[in-house]
Amino acid sequence: MAEKSMVNVEFNPGGQSVALQKGGLITEAMLTAGVLLPLDCGGKGTCGRCLVQVEGAVSPPNDAEERLLDQSRLEQGFRLACQTRALGDLRVVIPDTAETADSSWRIDLGDLSATQTNSPVITSVDCRVQAPTLEDPRADLRRVLEAVTPPAAGEGEGELWGDPATATQITRMAREKDWNLRVYKRGSEVVGVAGPGDAALGVAVDLGSTKIAAYLIDLEKGEVLNSRGRLNPQVAFGADVVTRLQRAIHNPDDRRQLTSLVRRALGDLVVELSSSVGVEPSCITEMSLVGNTAMTHLLLGLPVEQLGAPPFVASLDQAIDLKAREIGLNLAPGAYLYLPPLVGGFVGADNVAMIMGADLDLPGPCRLGLDIGTNTEVVLTAPGSEHPLLIASAPSGPTFEGAHLSSGMRAMAGAVSRVQLDKGRLVWSTIDGGKPAGICGSGIIDAVAEMARGGIINAQGHLDQSLPQVKVDERSIRYILVPGEQSATGKDIVVTQADISQVQLAKGAINAAAFTLLHLAGLEPFDISEIVLAGSFGSNFDVENARSIGLIPDAPAAIYRQVGNAAGKGAQQMLNNQEARIRAEAIPSMARYLELASEPLFNKLFARSLAFSKNRS
């Protein structure tokens, strides 16, 4: 067998160096090296997020690159990693301004915190175990089990058990701790041991398609000790779930990599969290995780082909208790991963967690819940109905994640997050107060609302081309929000006519979904007594501006409640509370999922709402 010709690719900063088959794409080498850039377009060469600077022999620029990069950039060696093939050894520089998937940041906890419970999943028992002797050669595991629950006379084998992984830990730990142990029990199973008095910790995870949020919780005190977030590394395979699913469906290697990337990210988060409080990951005795259907299927290694075409059927929709080690997590040896059930279709376990986190499953008046994202989950509570939870998933698009916007970026340092009208001009501020690099979701809402207010766009949403800040050429009609000389990238930060259309599409989809649900429930808008805005985006935008552009219903400000990451809160509630799990597991049977694409009313309303109104009030 002839050896394939290999070249060496070195990445900077970072210094990773990997072998790549000659003729391979730079993005392939990036996957190997673990340099993960968020490829919103999934590698089609249209989003420009994989911009890198290359030294060495590479393929000539192709059409996609000529479209996105001007001649001077190309001459400086700037290229799209997803389009550029290595023909010799390369040095690849990742620009400072690039978001990389290993960037880790603190999650905004808001007012979320776990609480104590009367029905814990994990209980801890300190015990003094008899050391073995020749006369008492009971196995290590058995002597620990019998120390926790002495075998009743005549009853024979006790109920308590442990698996071989737990026995392994017991054999080692018992001798290290001189047979004084804290035993972590989960029902009738011992899932791990530690030194006497050691904490019992758990991790709750909100596995988003963009961001993973993980919370470290003291299970006895019910306190959130720390939290960590990071970009879901799967962004290297596309910004949206559909792009990733298509990659997974068409290439088994991609599917395996999507699975292993997210498993590794979870493992890294666990290590970060446990070391942040100075303990070993083996003190983590339970994990709960919520995510959408595609995310949980890829995480568990379930097939996804059937998720890519109607009738979009999940492989598994029930709540799952799985040994965490089965997805490569090193927690307590017998620790479980718990996933709540999913409703079906595009309503995943994350929505079940959001519904519980926002208390929409509890009895009460008619409420509307919105979790705005690439798909916006719309939940209407219909009291007294057989299915008191009506759920739909509106195709609002990735606009508010910063994707598909000309100057879009995620809500990170450098993102323009607030825009205000000041004497006919738009003034802006960034998340961190630093130089702006792009606009995030809350920034585009403010910008569009204030542009409408100031007459920069008309009632139909068209930019006034007579203004000096509006530039028109064959590529776009755009409002220059930040000129290149003031931006971190040196490029203008703009709002284009196409960006405004994206916002119109999103608001159209969300409103049409909400009104379709109301209609089917036989309710009117004024029946709604509360509108819950869930998700970190829904908690960070300006409600007044969102209302004014019609993104959310035109209801009194007082009935709005911004609840933060309700899915994350739901995950925390489920972590160590049997009752919360019972609540979550009851949600699918309370819910009725509406496939909007087959609802004529939705389609009619969606089309009609595309007419943009400057001010709906």
For its own copies, the binding residue among 21, 59, 315, 429 (CB under 8 A) is: 315
Print the binding letters for residues 576-615 with its own copies: x by CB under 8 A, - otherwise: ---------xx--x---x-x--x-----------------
131 within 8 A of 144, measured Cβ to Cβ = no
Residue 266 or 416 with smaller CB distance to its own copies? 266
One residue of 303, 365, 434, 525 binding its own copies per CB under 8 A: 303
CA quadruple 457, 462, 466, 471: dihedral, nearest 10: 100
Query: Three-class SS of residue 110?
Result: coil
Q: How far apart are CB 141 and its own copies at their closest, in Å? A: 5
Segment near its own copies (CB under 8 A); pick from 59-67, 242-250, 304-312, 387-395: 304-312
And the tokens for 548?
């004014």
Give me the least distance between CB of 310 and its own copies, in Å please.
Answer: 6
Closer by beta carbon to its own copies, 311 or else 433? 311
Per CB under 8 A, 370 contacts its own copies: no
Return the closest-CA partner of residue 335 out of 267, 382, 432, 399.
267
Q: Measured from the CB of residue 315, what is the shortest distance to its own copies in angstroms?
A: 4
Residue-wise DSSP of 526-585:
GG--EEEEEHHHHHHS-HHHHHHTTSS----GGGEEEEE-HHHHHHHHHHT-HHHHHHHH
- HSE toward the beta carbon, residue 481, CA cutoff 13 A: 34
Pick between residue 14 and residue 301 the one whose CB is nearest to its own copies.
301
Give me the phi and psi of 300, to 5 degrees please: -85, -5
Count of residues touching its own copies (by CB under 8 A): 49
Strand partners, 180: 128
Q: Which of 139, 309, 427, 459 is in the footprint of its own copies by CB under 8 A? A: 139
Return d(Cα 285, Cα 172) in angstroms, integer.
18
Residue 403 and residue 409: Cα distance in Å, rounded? 6
Least Å from the CB of residue 314 to its own copies: 4
**Interface of this chain with its own copies, residues 541 to 560, rule: CB under 8 A:** none
Beta strands 223-231 and 284-291, pairing class? unpaired
Using CB under 8 A as the binding rule, whether residue 567 contacts its own copies is answered as no
DSSP 408-471: B--SSTTEEEEEEEETTEEEEEETTSS---EE-HHHHHHHHHHHHHTTSB-TT--B-TTSTTEE
Is residue 15 within the footprint of its own copies (CB under 8 A)?
A: no
Stretch that binds its own copies, among 93-101, 119-127, 157-165, 569-577 (CB under 8 A): 157-165
Task: Choose one: 307-315, 395-403, 475-483, 553-561; the region binding its own copies (CB under 8 A).
Answer: 307-315
Sign of torsion, CA 506 507 508 511? positive
Hey, which residues between 168 and 187 contact its own copies (CB under 8 A)? 168, 170-172, 175
Q: Rule CB under 8 A: is residue 469 a binding residue for its own copies?
A: no
Distance between the two ends of the chain, CA-based, in angstroms? 73
- Helix-helix angle 566-575:578-590, to 10 degrees: 130
Range in contact with its own copies (rule: CB under 8 A) among 32-40, 109-117, 320-328, 460-468: 320-328
Interacting span for its own copies (CB under 8 A) from 61-69, 134-142, 185-193, 428-436: 134-142
Give the x-and-dash track for 324-343 against its own copies (CB under 8 A): --x---------------x-
Q: In degrees to the nearest 10, what's the CA dihedral of 16, 19, 25, 31? A: -50
* Residue 295 contacts its own copies per CB under 8 A: no
Q: Which is nearer to its own copies, 333 or 408 (CB)?
A: 333
> For its own copies, which stretch binds (CB under 8 A), given 78-86, 156-164, 214-222, 356-364?
156-164
> Closest approach of Cβ 303 to its own copies, in Å?
4
277 lines the binding site for its own copies (CB under 8 A): no
Nearer to its own copies, 46 or 306 (CB): 306
Instruction: Give the pair of three-digit tokens for residue 80.
Output: 């799209």
Note whether 395 binds its own copies by CB under 8 A: no
Residue whose C-alpha is closest to residue 415's, from 441, 396, 451, 397: 441
361 belongs to the binding site for its own copies (CB under 8 A): no
Provide the H-helix boundaries in 288-410: 293-300, 349-357
Pick the closer one to its own copies by CB: 72 or 598. 598
Q: Give the residue from 13, 28, 18 showing the smallest Cα distance to 83.
A: 28
Can residue 309 be called a binding residue for its own copies (CB under 8 A)?
no
Residue 313 binding its own copies, by CB under 8 A: yes
Contact by Cβ (8 Å): 130, 136: yes
Type of residue numbered 315:
S
Short-list 185, 218, 212, CA closest to 289: 212
Q: Which is nearer to its own copies, 164 or 490 (CB)?
A: 164
Nearer of residues 71 and 598 to its own copies, judged by Cβ: 598
Tell me the closest approach of the beta carbon of residue 146 to its own copies, in angstroms.
11
| Residues near its own copies, by CB under 8 A | 132-134, 136-142, 156-157, 161-164, 167-168, 170-172, 175, 300-303, 305-306, 310-318, 320, 322, 326, 342, 344-345, 585-586, 589, 593, 595, 598
